Structure 1
């Protein structure tokens, strides 16, 4: 399955600093991770740092799958509000899930601080505004839940939002503890550190995902890899039987602008909204605007660049309706697939039938945050330790199954 199409930006900000061989013979490894994106990089790091023998296999190049199309907004808040999770899975589990995400953000901060290269990782606040007056009460309820459990949050009235950020919307929640990143640079820098930790990487090697068995996989060239634990971080390439009735694939659009002469808005906060599908946008170190939206329930990428550019212009116009003084010129425009789950939760944990097989599939819009949380969960599972979050996101949870 093709994951993105159009003119990407992140992979043009640097050359991949690592080039790895293709698998040419059979071998054994303690941990085999299939996939070479953000989930694989973070999981390989956590496991290798804990003394495990780790091998990562990618069908193309490291970091050039879905991660290259990521807009790089890292937030502890989810596409699905805490208050909505409370209604669906109960207050205790909902709060625990949000704490998992906040804890993941702190771990991402820590890992980035260890990287030798600049990944354009910057701690930022987020503004989550009410798209219409009808959403005001919903945001107030959400704020009260976040405040009750001491999440870093602030409520902004229309007057405060205009005065502080020049955003004329009914109200907003401001969250702290978030960040932005160049996902391609982050993966390349982390891959380099993982390589130094002893992680073995292979590129241009496709695994036969349709014939998985316990402790053994085959490349499409016929080479076998035996392992004690198999971790699938393949994103949206395949909907496995364990999740096929709990998930779906959608399409989103994004663009990167030309650099602006100065900061386009106060503190260059990351901005998104309550409407669904929602607009989301941020800046870069050189004052470009990265934005996305116009999500569609379509499971294949659009190839027509003129169509993609037209969608990007629609997104641009939405931003300029908020900040009419900004003159945005689009440099890059693309579309990409992303996964969503019926219950709004990612899929992290053991396969229900094959106990040596694990999934880290960060479905929903918080993929990098879920990847970090998943790496920590899988490390505990593999080491037979109870993780406080494992039951919420496990693959065979009862919630979220379609009729």
Structure 2
């Protein structure tokens, strides 16, 4: 039903921190539920907790198990700032839709912070400003225009000159945009916390179980599994990351590989306010600090071909990232203690596809997350839960599979 892919390689830094274990059951008989969710990574966990919290009976399956896919590969810079600058997105989708996409993204990050606090999940959450540095996509003049475009749609943004950037943050770049209200967290702890809250709400988890076939009718969806039993649900949610099932329509979607490193803890060397940092470049460098003072840095993105070519590049890519990191912040000890690679899906506009599949109103899918995976997972949990609950989300058309 879907191509099996190796979602990540190497050792992500998050394995240095213990995440709670999530118990699963063995699927031994046919079962029924309101909602079946395929995938137990961050997007599946968010959808599960939202739907179980709304009173639906929920079953989750995963061919690996909880937290064993690409979730651990993220660097977890949880930003409302989309990969596609507002000034670049507007000509692609229209000024109104671009502005609304950015506003919805900002709202999603705010909602996620509140959600984590309300559920009491310990995932080392911090609220952080971010710096968007001038690069080969947006030079200083274009960055000024970008900051103004954001302000015009109601999103605060401050342009910093080279002098202000150097004085306040010790970074030598031609300019930057300073934003507030982004988040940093531990993605494995968050995913485990959401799944455990869902268990308290009677969600059922079966793993390892692979969905092998889907048949949908007007009233239900039947999913055959690798173990033999069939799961019947009123709705199906496909949260399989970039391992796309055959039923999902062809879209302007591609798979990209990224690489990341993490240093040893060095809290005394962290830059002012531990701001999230990324570049207006292609590909761009992105970095953050962890709660104990490690520096996590990623980038060097390129199109995914296959694991056999991607994985041997880890050592070379780690050296390149460390060199770029040293050039940006010379005070840091940039020697990698962790190095890894992962892959993610992206789209031509940078906006994800979320919602019911064309001609399959009971099958919902989420894909094309790009660099905003956790932010878009929050939006997906809101849109899908509204659709299943019979409520129209005002932004559903922005992200739908039928959008122009």
TM-score by length of 2: 0.94
Q: Which residue of 1 aligns with 2:258?
A: 252
What's the CA shift string for 1:235-265, capped at 9, x where partnerless? 1112545443421111110111111141421
Residues paired across the two proteins, number = 397
Q: Output aligned runs, 1:11-22, within 5 Å.
A: 11-22=15-26
Partner SS state of residue 143, structure 1: helix
Q: Over aligned residues, Cα RMSD in angstroms?
A: 1.7
What's the CA shift string for 1:258-317, capped at 9, x where partnerless? 111414211110100011010000010110011110001123335786631221121111
Instruction: Indicate the larger mover: 322-331 or 7-16.
Output: 7-16
| CA displacement at 1:212 relative to structure 2 | 4.7
Q: Which residue of 2 aligns with 1:51?
A: 55
Q: Which residue of 2 aligns with 1:297?
A: 303
Q: For the residues of structure 1 that align with 2:86 and 2:294, how far apart are their CA atoms? A: 31
Q: Which residue of 2 aligns with 1:213?
A: 216
Q: Which residue of 2 aligns with 1:329?
A: 335
What's the CA shift string for 1:132-183, capped at 9, x where partnerless? 5961222111101111122132111111101100111011011111000100
Q: Which residue of 2 aligns with 1:29?
A: 33
| CA displacement at 1:15 relative to structure 2 | 4.6
1:310 to 1:241, Cα distance in 2 relative to 1, 3 A: same
1:293 to 1:49, Cα distance in 2 relative to 1, 3 A: same
1:24 to 1:369, Cα distance in 2 relative to 1, 3 A: same
Q: Which residue of 1 aligns with 2:280?
A: 274
The answer to whether the 8 Å contact 1:348/1:394 transfers is: yes
Q: Output aligned runs, 1:115-126, within 5 Å.
A: 115-126=119-130
Instruction: Indicate the larger mover: 305-314 or 362-371.
Output: 305-314
Q: For the residues of structure 2 that align with 1:384 and 1:184, how far apart are their CA atoms? A: 31
What's the CA shift string for 1:6-33, capped at 9, x where partnerless? 1222134115422212212111000111
The answer to whether the 8 Å contact 1:339/1:364 transfers is: yes
Q: For the residues of structure 2 that align with 1:259 and 1:306, how far apart are their CA atoms? A: 26
Q: Which residue of 1 aligns with 2:187?
A: 183
Q: For the residues of structure 1 that align with 2:227 and 2:391, how far apart are their CA atoms? A: 36
Q: For the residues of structure 2 that align with 1:304 and 1:149, how far apart are their CA atoms? A: 40
| CA displacement at 1:114 relative to structure 2 | 2.6
The answer to whether the 8 Å contact 2:20/2:193 transfers is: no
Partner SS state of residue 123, structure 2: coil
TM-score by length of 1: 0.94
The answer to whether the 8 Å contact 2:76/2:185 transfers is: yes
Q: Which residue of 1 aligns with 2:230?
A: 224
| CA displacement at 1:115 relative to structure 2 | 3.6
Q: Can you give the 5+ residue segments of structure 1 that lack an aligned partner in the other structure?
A: 399-403
Q: Which residue of 2 aligns with 1:365?
A: 371
Structure 2 residue aligned with 1:235, among 225, 241, 245?
A: 241
Q: For the residues of structure 2 that align with 1:173 and 1:240, how far apart are their CA atoms? A: 41
Q: For the residues of structure 2 that align with 1:345 and 1:234, how far apart are their CA atoms? A: 17
Q: Can you give the 5+ residue segments of structure 2 that lack an aligned partner in the other structure?
A: none
What's the CA shift string for 1:94-122, capped at 9, x where partnerless? 11111110111111111110344420111
* Residues 1:105 and 2:109 are matched in the alignment: yes
Q: For the residues of structure 2 that align with 1:397 and 1:288, how far apart are their CA atoms? A: 41
Partner SS state of residue 68, structure 2: coil
1:142 to 1:134, Cα distance in 2 relative to 1, 3 A: closer
| CA displacement at 1:223 relative to structure 2 | 1.2
The answer to whether the 8 Å contact 1:251/1:300 transfers is: no
Q: For the residues of structure 2 that align with 1:306 and 1:349, how far apart are their CA atoms? A: 36
Q: For the residues of structure 2 that align with 1:38 and 1:240, how far apart are their CA atoms? A: 22
